Amino acid sequence: MRARCQSGGLGHNMGSSVMDLQQEILFSLEKDGVVISNEFGESIKESHQKIVGAIKSLESLGNVVNVKQNALKTWECTEEGTGVATEGSHEARLFNSLPPEGRSVADIKDNFPNSNFALGAAMKNKWLKKEGEKVVPAMTSIEDQVQKYLQAITAGAADSVPDNVKVEYKKRKLIREVEMTVFEVTKGNEFTTSIVKQEGELTKEMIESGQWKKTTFKPFNFKSKGRVDQRSGYLHPLMQLRSEFRQIFLEMGFSEMPTNNFVESAFWNFDALFQPQQHPARDAHDTFYVAEPGKTINVPEDYLQKVKKTHSVGGYGSIGYQYDWSRDEAHKNLLRTHTTAVSARMLYKLAQDGFQPVKFFSIDRVFRNETLDATHLAEFNQIEGVVADYNLSIKNLMGLIKGFFEKIGITKLRFKPAYNPYTEPSMEIFSYHEGLQKWVEVGNSGMFRPEMLRPMGIPENVTVAAWGLSLERPAMIMYGINNIRELVGPRVKMELILDNPVCTIDK
Ligand code: FB9
């Protein structure tokens, strides 16, 4: 039984390279016919780790050596054991700290570490004797056997320590038993002491210089599996769900609207949608206005005039809102509160380019200065579907919405009349959620108002059906998350991302 202590004494000259170590092992093999890794390490004061490294390189040379692994139970010192091995046992330290006239027990108890144990052991060893309330040395010098035994273990000579002592020291948490793997090396059938350094890399220089012809290469293991734990990227669950919704829209023949502008002008976010300038959603309590640049610079003037007119005096059969519409208000920059702003831009462009029926969708971040709670952050991802065609009616809208939600396994839908400044009629969408045993609001929808579409130049007989929902709500329900901060933000548990299989929408 050989013992090691993680503290002192090993491998003073940690310098010798693996190549030299390999050479030393081969010479020792030549001499002794067998090399035991830990013993060899001790004999040349080299760390067992380095020896094992050298043995592994020799092993990779083919049949120069044979290597057998044996599990070896050995002893090593604990932190405290190491302290005793180097500083001496507590009782020995107490004895050596005592002046010939001794010291009061009270004083030792107050000032000497592990005093109780040290006093007890020193008294038991009859190193001290009591004189009144003092203890005095009972002899001139003592032999600190505990330290000696632990130093023996340090030096890997645990066999020289009696088993009952080892059991006692283990109980005193001075040493612990550890298992180490020891390598037994013997000569292989291609044994040689002269090893040529095997190159692991075929480099450009070798090829250009032709050096490769005279070089011995490590055998290439073409069968070696690439790193198994190849960690591929992971989509955040929300982004995973976004790609599922995206796929659904694409399968339904929709094309994605460009949503890469979080900063929008109040004009496209509100005015173009016929949302009056004094609408509560437009005040800073609900909307994040941008300080710098505070104002937009480019709104198509002729279109702006039409919007102004529609808001202030109406038109297209509407009386408008009868208020003084402010260009300045419309020019304010803000963080878009809905992707419907993008729908407005796309419908305007569609009218400018010459109308044709389209199916658009968008899924991206929108920002609302709302009171934060378990289901609301200051931003969420809005999903929006827009279908523009001739004479579409609310029936078509309901059909579109049914078709869409069917694709995500939601069949039982109910529509509840609602109000949006930019759609008439408008409907909130509800679905009966078996798991939650209740009707859940799953979105909003409506037919865009003529006051929104006409000024853009969308033809009279064209109607536009649209609906919207969030990405976070379905994600929370599908992942069984009750607090949105566990889904989005710094508190998301990485496991949710790493070991979360692609969230399948059970068709
Ligand atoms: O997502 C929402 N709910 C939802 C959706 C799916 C779902 O799936 C489950 C697996 C079964 C579960 C829930 N909602 C919309 C409804 C509510 O959560 C609502 O309280 C919160 N809404 C957000 C806005 O909050 C201020 C969700 C968000 C929302 C609301 C409206 C629209 C978009 C997102 C819209 C619109 C619209 C209307 C007309 C024309 C164009 C767009």
> Are the CB atoms for 265 and 299 separated by under 8 Å?
yes
Question: Could you give the domains of the chain?
Answer: 2-78+152-214 (3.30.1370.240), 90-143 (1.10.10.2330), 238-259+339-499 (3.30.930.10)
For ligand 1, atom 39: residue with the closest CA: 445
Nearest to 275 by CA among 335, 321, 336: 321
| pLDDT score of 3 more than 50 | no
Q: Is residue 89 pLDDT above 70, yes or no?
A: yes
**CA distances from residue 355 to 351, 449, 458, 460 in whole angstroms, order as listed:** 5, 17, 7, 11
Residue 425, preceding peptide bond in cis (omega within 30° of 0): yes
Work out which ligand 1 atom sits closest to the CA atom of 370: 26
pTM score, whole prediction: 0.62
CA distance 378 to 376: 7
pLDDT of residue 126: 94
By C-alpha distance, which of 273, 274, 265, 281 is closest to 329?
Answer: 265
DSSP output for 8-27: S-S-S-TT--HHHHHHHHHH
Confidence of residue 15 (pLDDT cuts 50, 70, 90): low
Closest to 26 (Cα-Cα) out of 196, 182, 180: 196
CB 290 within 8 A of CB 263: yes
- pLDDT for the residue numbered 141: 92
Amino acid 197: pLDDT: 72
CA-based R_g, the chain, Å:
41
Average pLDDT score over residue span 443-457: 98
Residue 316 CB: number of other CB atoms within 10 A? Answer: 15
Q: Is the CB of 440 under 6 A from ligand 1?
A: yes
Q: Does the pLDDT of residue 507 top 50, yes or no?
A: no
| Pocket-testing residue among 431, 433, 473, 487, ligand 1, by greatest number of atoms within 8 A of Cβ | 473
Task: Choose among 380, 386, 399: nearest CA to 452.
Answer: 386
pLDDT of residue 234: 82
The closest of 289, 458, 257 to 369, measured between CA atoms, is: 289
What 3-state class would DSSP assign to 42?
Answer: helix
3-state SS, 123-164, equals HHCCCEEEECCEEEECCCCCCCHHHHHHHHHHCCCHHHCCHH
Both tokens of 164, joined, read 């009952």
Residue 235: name the closest of 498, 475, 505, 506 by CA: 498
Partner residues linked to 76 by β-bridges: 176
Q: Does the C-beta of 155 come closer than 6 Å to ligand 1?
A: no
- Give pLDDT tens digits for 97-141: 999 899 999 999 998 888 898 999 999 999 999 999 999 999 999
- Residue 163 CA to residue 158 CA, distance in Å, equals 9
Q: pLDDT exceeding 70 applies to what percent of the chain? A: 94
Ligand 1 atom closest to residue 368's alpha carbon, by position in its atom list: 26
